[in-house]
Structure 1
């Protein structure tokens, strides 16, 4: 039998050797003895921790599922194979989906857009209607266009008329309006859900539509609508224009692809910058509207580059036979290229929405 006393010299506790400190085992790999201990009584410092948590592996190795195609040969293959073969979206479909997502950006409060042009016949009212209809058809909130043209505006002719009430009637009854349904009695609504508040058709009466009147209308509408577009007249000096510009969050200057249309649009920007609206110009979009089937000898690329150096963005709207009619506008009757151009215009405008928060 082994005598336990043979091992008495190998004991390391303080009972065997009262005058000697116990020896600690060596540091394990990965420890730095210069680091402070995790706890005062801990014999070892903590292992170094990663600077940030590592992402889940699944977010890197799992591919997102392909979205099914919605048109063209891709859809034919997808449907013909019983949805077993999915070629995915085409670049055009992906582009359209991205534009729709931009149009649907969250919007806090009310966003006011002024539509301007010094020259008549450039399609300003048409662009107002189609831009508003694009917003209204894609977003879930309320969109309204206000006719602020003192010279018998034609905005109300772009959608089916549901009421003969005008902006003047709304001002007269403003104190009685307490809910959205009250305002709705003064507006007409198209299939896109865009509402229009018509101007007074008597030029003698509409000339009295002042800056104060316009600001009262906007302050009322902003309680019930998220986007308010104002179709301005061609004159920059009429009484309501200062109120329109002072309250606008963004601006659309409408031009044509002709020399005189572009000159008028440039003159509009010059006037705005000269009268203290330089910041508004920086937030503006120039819409080059093709009112004729052919552009003629004007280089539209150079024209777009000219306005691109002065405005935040430039959008080109192609000629469309349905818009040339000058009658009620239905988005479904527009050509695909026109729908895409309007979607790009709406997306560019939505990029200026104030950040949510």
Structure 2
């Protein structure tokens, strides 16, 4: 007959034998800390991580020529491209506002606004809009196919009735990249009356429906809407050409911002050196772009270069597919640099290359300290 557990007592050990205490193990006892975990049944654990087949270059031809037996993987350039894409696609809560500035015309500010916006739109896949806040009849709307004659003035007039994205879409034109453009008023007499309050009201409407808003400003820093543009911006992008007067004008823009209490915005700003003219090997220009880049790297968070591109020189509607590969990569670099400032983004510092704590993304895009 079995003895109930409550009535069982351990037998008395013989003389000279030390009793051993045995702790009973119940079903409710927690597992030991060093117990082996359960086997991971994820796809990667069971099947392993498949090596990605090369997508271009000699590695791709070797892969297919060997009947997919020799897989060298992606090239360093392809890996770097994918890294930039991942940086541009960082999650973004709310609306991020970018102000495009230049005190000098002819440096390609509107072109950089359109191409940067298009790069964001086609890479991220969410809603991106560029606003023409130029009081002197801006040309931003000419960079995409015109779908509506509506302007920013019409949007403000009907703002109270805008309750959904489809309502806003009636006032914008969209390109193949899905970048939308809100045009400025074509009548100079009317556009000159575009005030800081008008811009703030416009932004209140747009930031409800768009993830990224780029503002193409005029060349004057004192026109009525500029104060609101700077105050509302999350980051400033200052455009310069590779010429002496272009660099001086861009530097003067930073000087003006410093003098008017925007030192923090200047330190967080991004300078873009835009090659609006072709520089051949036979060119006798004496402008040292390395020194220009170094000048802005000491004042701004980053400096990016956009190479000359024949398609951009045309001055018409912009299609990213028609840009040279190096131009598209430079624009992706610029977009990734802007995305470094997204809320919650982690910036990685690499002092190698500068030697003074500044960071370097690549030869085309340098980050300042």
* 1:133 lines up with 2:128 in the alignment: no
Q: 1:276 aligns with which of 244, 261, 273?
A: 261
Structure 1 residue 330: Cα displacement: 0.5
Asked if residue 171 in structure 1 is aligned to residue 167 in structure 2, the reply is no
The Cα of 1:72 is off from its aligned counterpart by: 1.2
Q: Distance in 2 between matches of 1:54 and 1:131?
A: 48
- Which one is further off, 303-312 or 186-195? 303-312
Going from structure 1 to structure 2, the CA distance change for 1:73 and 1:183 (only over 3 Å counts) comes to same
The aligned runs of 1:141-160 (5 Å cut-off) are 141-160=126-145
Q: What corresponds to 1:325 in structure 2? A: 314
* 2:304 is aligned with 1:315: yes
Partner of 2:329: 340
Residues 1:297 and 2:292 are matched in the alignment? no
Q: Which residue of 2 aligns with 1:42?
A: none
The 3 A distance-change label for structure 1 pair 15 and 164 is closer
Mark the CA change 1:214 to 1:14 in structure 2 (over 3 Å): closer, same or farther.
same
- TM-score computed with the length of structure 1 as normaliser: 0.85
Partner of 1:23: 18
How many matched pairs?
328
Structure 2 unaligned residues grouped into runs of 5+: 1-9, 25-31, 346-369
Q: CA deviation at 1:301?
A: 1.4
Distance, in Å, in 2 between the alignment partners of 1:88 and 1:148 is: 46
User: Is 1:209 aligned to residue 197 of structure 2?
Assistant: no
Alignment of 1:63-212 (within 5 A): 64-212=49-197
> C-alpha displacement at 1:25, in angstroms?
5.1
Q: What SS is found at the alignment partner of 1:345?
A: helix
Q: Is the 8 A contact 1:166 1:197 kept in 2?
A: yes
Name whichever of 267-276 and 108-117 sits farther off: 267-276
Contact 1:108/1:355 (<8 A) preserved? no
- Contact 2:270–2:304, Cα closer than 8 Å, also in 1: yes
- Native 8 Å contact 2:13 2:19 kept in 1: no
TM-score, normalization: structure 2?
0.82
Distance in 1, matches of 2:184 and 2:67, equals 54
Q: C-alpha distance in 2, partners of 1:128/1:206?
A: 20
1:223 to 208, 211, 216: 208
Contact conserved, 1:66 with 1:89, CA < 8 A, in 2? Answer: no
**2-structure distance, mates of 1:55, 1:118:** 63
Offset of residue 64 of structure 1 = 4.1
Q: Higher mean Cα deviation, 275-284 or 246-255?
A: 275-284
Distance 1:15 1:96, change over 3 A: closer
1:149–1:340 CA distance, 2 compared to 1 (3 A): same
